[in-house]
Amino acid sequence: MKKTILFLIAVSFVFASTNAQLFKNKTKKTVAPVVVAPVNILTNDVDSMSYALGLNVGSDFAKNLKGIPGGKSNIDLLIKGFNTAMRGDSALMKSEVANEYFKNYITKAQAKDIVIKKASGEKFLNENKTKEGITTTASGLQYQVLVAKDGAKPNATDTVKVHYTGTLIDGTKFDSSIDRGEPISFPLNQVIPGWTEGVQLMSVGSKYKFFVPYTLGYGEKGAGNGAIPGFATLIFEVELLDIKPFKEPTPKVEIKTVEQHQAVKNIIKKSSKK
């Protein structure tokens, strides 16, 4: 709600500027050009703060506006609606109707977006699985061996060290340990299912390309503050650098009685004689 209010403040400046420009253009058609001195709106701290706020919030909201389901909006009408509400003028919709309409629109647009995203991922995977060198597992994970190596393979409980690059199916890169210049280590059973399954196919030194359906990736919600959208099919190039086998922790023996204490001393004594 705070961001929306702040954005609307920014929009008012845009609308005022637009009206001023339109008025100037109409004036030019009927009146001879005159030299107009520039207007300095930053005459005090409040004005400066207000303008800075407008720029910052407007820039931020312009980016967020692209995330509206369907990806479309009419900026002119958005500004007009805001200006109408701010001035208390007669509106095309009552506020209750506007709220209900907006909510229904978003719900329908989200449902439509989900269908489109699912269909896009399914189409990509269906076409990709027919390409040479692509293998599809029972879970739906697809992979391609880029560099093959022999050797031990990790178990799900092992910790692995890898270099990787992740992209969306349109080629957008969302993460890369290579770009950061530092590989990453993690327990293999604590990442997305596509990685847990896929990296177990690899030996140290090998490099695979994985095509991960959303059901084996980040699911319906996505991740990375929107960098990975919900229902996204993902592509990873992964190089396995090291495997650290899982070791069961040594259980601690609690010595509670004198007899237990003596028994431990006897074991140590016998071991030292050997």
Residues catalogued as catalytic: 164, 174-175, 192, 218, 236
Identify which of 83, 225, 208, 90 has the alpha carbon closest to the alpha carbon of residue 144. Answer: 208
**Paired tokens of 36:** 């107009």
Q: Bridge partners of 143?
A: 135, 210
Estimate to the nearest angstrom the gap between the alpha carbon of 20 and the chain centroid: 39
Tell me if residue 37 falls in helix, strand or coil.
Answer: coil
Tallying the residues shown for the chain, one arrives at 274
**Paired tokens of 224:** 């990375």
Helix, strand, coil fractions of the chain, as percent rounded to 5: 45, 15, 35
> Rounded distance, CA 190 to CA 233, Å?
19
Identify which of 130, 244, 233, 132 has the alpha carbon closest to the alpha carbon of residue 186. Answer: 244
For residue 239, count other CB atoms closer than 10 A to its CB. 20
Contacts 24+ apart (CB under 8 A), 137-140: 137/197, 139/193, 139/197, 139/216, 140/213, 140/215, 140/216
Q: Bridge partners of 168?
A: 234
> Rounded distance, CA 198 to CA 206, Å?
12
